[in-house]
A and B are shown apart, each in its own frame.
Chain A
């Protein structure tokens, strides 16, 4: 459905996107997982035609978006990170406006708006001004505005940013249903659990580059079968190296160490060695193989909400 090849985008001296490649199949939910500033929004903006890549190509259903973006845009549904709605209009009026930009009109437009409002449980508040909506309600209308014209390819840029769990669950369900009905979805997020639970395939993106890509299973295999153990205490790095000899250390400094163990019993043995050498351990953290540990392993830092 969509093929992204070697796209690059630079703003001044900052390389926002630096040679990204991926493809997404029809009906698939493809996640771009990364922290703020990783290049997710720039990538979405280039796919939607809002920004022109400095180099590289993007094709949707075999059509280069650089050449015939008008044709492609009708098939795209873009849900931006900001709540891009007119506050002074009602939810229904907003949907009518955005739908009309995609050629909907008359009865077809009214029906589509009513259907979307029902989908997000906003029928009763449809005629209230958007400025009077809660954050979650605005997010839901924001989503509807991108879906009202029934697009084939849906681009969602952090659509659940800053909303309550209930509204988030509602939005994620809608996205899942869209994909089930054959729509292709590209979803950016910095929430690990969203990527884990929603996406068929995930790309870990950081500093404008995709570092790893695959299904959740494929990615966790990258992290191996090992648990990630993090210890903090009053130990010196020299002593720690000796105690952890034979184990794979990811990060070591005075007072903190992160290492991998393939068997849980090893952790007890390591802790005993620390206690016997007179070192006090303040905190022990064990993480099973997960997207979080994959992210940690690939980027060297944790992705926090």
Chain B
């Protein structure tokens, strides 16, 4: 290691970048949250399901949620096509059973291709269910009266309304902490994902924004480290190294390994800061380590490959920043992937940054296992292999030619 201080300072760049992005997004999370597409299947058509439906179209929720009322078949089809983040299904006779204080269940279907938006919907529905459930106990008397009115099909008189309100007031006063049992439950499902339901991770905005900015930073640190090759060529030190009794392959392997190590150390530091400083759940060890290694290999490989075509620092200045920013932009590092429109998301799925960052999101937010991120791992490791080997060969040839 020629200059540890320089390397340390270099590693600070992605760290600071990650922290800044985390703070910017974390501090203003409400403003930055994307609009969530939610489907609502109302098999009940009663007062309570109407209350839930209207509740989600009011004030702040209306800004967050794009609610679409559909029938069961259309909802199923749209979810299978991945057109919405979640589907809420209210069963038949939901309102009647609620008034009768019979157990009822709300069904929530989540889109497995999205990481955190379905979790938000889940949390929101949970809250509504708790509110309704508690209300069923507190307002038992008034609800009985309302039930009579509901069944009679006529408008209540002034006295009847007065009586309901007085009983409601008494109910609130006496309720205290004597709640027990649940009348309303809700069941969560994920489209084509039988493993769901085992996950229970609290949503953390940093866990949502840090993976993208971390990958962005890791690409930069890999780039900066490999840039030494062209910088040293310009300074003449590379030529001096090459006349020493070393083969080009040794020089390239050494440089690629240094890049891997520096990128890995940077990533570890970011993960530790994320966990300790921002309370991010970094998930299960095995998927985290496997994905971590894949991502570091991928970053090193991508940069080795690109530098196989770059001859001067000037070219690197012109090309590399643009390449990284484009990959990061479409991959969701700069703007959360979920906020990109459908076209950009479709393009973004071709960005290695998306698969690297989303893999970490799944691990952080969903406590994902190896099977859950299998697709991410296949893609990340494939990119690593497809770029690392040709990149190394290109770099070695370049050195051998004396370019």
| Interface flag for A43 (CB, 8 Å) | no
Instruction: Identify the interface centre among B237, B241, B402: most chain A CB within 10 Å of its CB.
Output: B237
Instruction: Identify the interface centre among B235, B242, B243: most chain A CB within 10 Å of its CB.
Output: B243
| Interface flag for B247 (CB, 8 Å) | yes
0/1 string, A70-104, CB within 8 A of B gives 1: 11011010101111111011000100011001110
| Interface flag for B6 (CB, 8 Å) | yes
- Given the complex, which residues of A lie within 8 Å of B198, measured CB to CB? none
Closest residue on chain B to residue A80 by CB atoms: B236
- Given the complex, which residues of A lie within 8 Å of B237, measured CB to CB? 84-86
- A80-B402 CB under 8 A given contacts A70-B245, A89-B3: no
Q: In the bound complex, how far is the Cα of B240 from the Cα of A289, in angstroms? A: 39
Partner of B235, one of A52, A70, A82, A97: A82
- A48-B243 CB under 8 A given contacts A84-B235, A86-B237: yes
Q: In the bound complex, how far is the Cα of B6 from the Cα of A49, in angstroms? A: 31
- Given the complex, which residues of A lie within 8 Å of B245, measured CB to CB? 70-71, 73-74, 101-103
- Given the complex, which residues of A lie within 8 Å of B2, measured CB to CB? 86, 88-89, 93, 97
Q: Which applies to chain B's interface (DSSP): helix, strand, loop or mixed?
A: loop
Q: In the bound complex, how far is the Cα of B246 from the Cα of A52, in angstroms? A: 16
| Interface flag for B244 (CB, 8 Å) | yes
Decide: A98 and B247 in contact? CB cutoff 8 A: no
- Given the complex, which residues of B lie within 8 Å of A294, measured CB to CB? none
- A50-B246 CB under 8 A given contacts A78-B240, A88-B6, A89-B2: no
| Interface flag for A45 (CB, 8 Å) | yes
| Interface flag for B239 (CB, 8 Å) | yes
Partner of A145, one of B235, B240, B242, B246: B240
Decide: B402 and A83 in contact? CB cutoff 8 A: no
Q: In the bound complex, how far is the Cα of B241 from the Cα of A60, in angstroms? A: 20
| Interface flag for A51 (CB, 8 Å) | yes
- Given the complex, which residues of B lie within 8 Å of A49, measured CB to CB? 242-243
Closest residue on chain A to residue B245 by CB atoms: A73
Decide: A82 and B236 in contact? CB cutoff 8 A: yes
- Given the complex, which residues of B lie within 8 Å of A89, measured CB to CB? 2-3
Q: In the bound complex, how far is the Cα of B235 from the Cα of A71, in angstroms? A: 26
CB distance from B357 to the nearest CB of A (A): 34
Query: B339-371: which have CB < 8 Å to A?
Result: none
- Given the complex, which residues of B lie within 8 Å of A76, measured CB to CB? 243
Decide: B236 and A50 in contact? CB cutoff 8 A: no
Decide: A101 and B242 in contact? CB cutoff 8 A: no
Decide: A50 and B239 in contact? CB cutoff 8 A: yes
- Given the complex, which residues of B lie within 8 Å of A88, measured CB to CB? 2-3, 6
- Given the complex, which residues of B lie within 8 Å of A101, measured CB to CB? 241, 244-246
Decide: A73 and B240 in contact? CB cutoff 8 A: no
- Given the complex, which residues of A lie within 8 Å of B243, measured CB to CB? 48-50, 73, 76, 78
Decide: B3 and A80 in contact? CB cutoff 8 A: no
Closest residue on chain B to residue A69 by CB atoms: B245
Closest residue on chain B to residue A46 by CB atoms: B402
Query: B219-246: which have CB < 8 Å to A?
Result: 235-237, 239-246
Closest residue on chain B to residue A146 by CB atoms: B240
Chain A interface residue count: which class? 20 to 34
Q: How many residues of B contact A (CB 8 A)?
A: 16
Partner of A50, one of B3, B6, B235, B242: B242
Closest residue on chain B to residue A87 by CB atoms: B235
Q: In the bound complex, how far is the Cα of B232 from the Cα of A82, in angstroms? A: 12
Q: In the bound complex, how far is the Cα of B230 from the Cα of A171, in angstroms? A: 30
0/1 string, B388-403, CB within 8 A of A gives 1: 0000000000000010
- Given the complex, which residues of A lie within 8 Å of B246, measured CB to CB? 101
Q: In the bound complex, how far is the Cα of B3 from the Cα of A73, in angstroms? A: 26
CB distance from A91 to the nearest CB of B (A): 14
Decide: A84 and B402 in contact? CB cutoff 8 A: no
CB distance from B36 to the nearest CB of A (A): 51
Decide: B239 and A80 in contact? CB cutoff 8 A: yes
Q: In the bound complex, how far is the Cα of B6 from the Cα of A145, in angstroms? A: 22
0/1 string, A215-248, CB within 8 A of B gives 1: 0000000000000000000000000000000000
- Given the complex, which residues of B lie within 8 Å of A71, measured CB to CB? 245
Decide: B236 and A83 in contact? CB cutoff 8 A: yes
Decide: A50 and B402 in contact? CB cutoff 8 A: yes
Closest residue on chain A to residue B240 by CB atoms: A84
- Given the complex, which residues of B lie within 8 Å of A50, measured CB to CB? 239, 242-243, 402
CB distance from B11 to the nearest CB of A (A): 16
CB distance from A230 to the nearest CB of B (A): 39
CB distance from B227 to the nearest CB of A (A): 15
Closest residue on chain A to residue B247 by CB atoms: A70
Closest residue on chain B to residue A85 by CB atoms: B237
Decide: A98 and B240 in contact? CB cutoff 8 A: yes
- Given the complex, which residues of B lie within 8 Å of A86, measured CB to CB? 2-3, 237
Decide: B402 and A51 in contact? CB cutoff 8 A: yes
Q: In the bound complex, how far is the Cα of B239 from the Cα of A81, in angstroms? A: 11
CB distance from B48 to the nearest CB of A (A): 71
- Given the complex, which residues of A lie within 8 Å of B402, measured CB to CB? 45, 50-52
Decide: A84 and B236 in contact? CB cutoff 8 A: yes
- Given the complex, which residues of B lie within 8 Å of A52, measured CB to CB? 402
Q: In the bound complex, how far is the Cα of B246 from the Cα of A35, in angstroms? A: 32
CB distance from B142 to the nearest CB of A (A): 78
CB distance from A61 to the nearest CB of B (A): 15
Q: In the bound complex, how far is the Cα of B240 from the Cα of A81, in angstroms? A: 11
0/1 string, B1-35, CB within 8 A of A gives 1: 01100100000000000000000000000000000
0/1 string, B23-62, CB within 8 A of A gives 1: 0000000000000000000000000000000000000000
A-B pairs with the 8 shortest C-beta distances?
A: A82-B236, A84-B236, A101-B244, A73-B245, A84-B240, A48-B243, A78-B243, A74-B245
A sample of 10 more A-B contacts (CB under 8 A), given A50-B243, A88-B3, is A45-B239, A45-B402, A50-B242, A80-B236, A81-B236, A83-B236, A84-B237, A84-B239, A86-B237, A102-B245
A-B contact pairs, 11 of them (CB 8 A): A50-B242, A52-B402, A71-B245, A78-B240, A78-B243, A80-B236, A80-B239, A82-B236, A84-B236, A88-B3, A101-B246
Contacts from A to B (Cβ < 8 Å): 45, 48-52, 70-71, 73-74, 76, 78, 80-86, 88-89, 93, 97-98, 101-103, 145
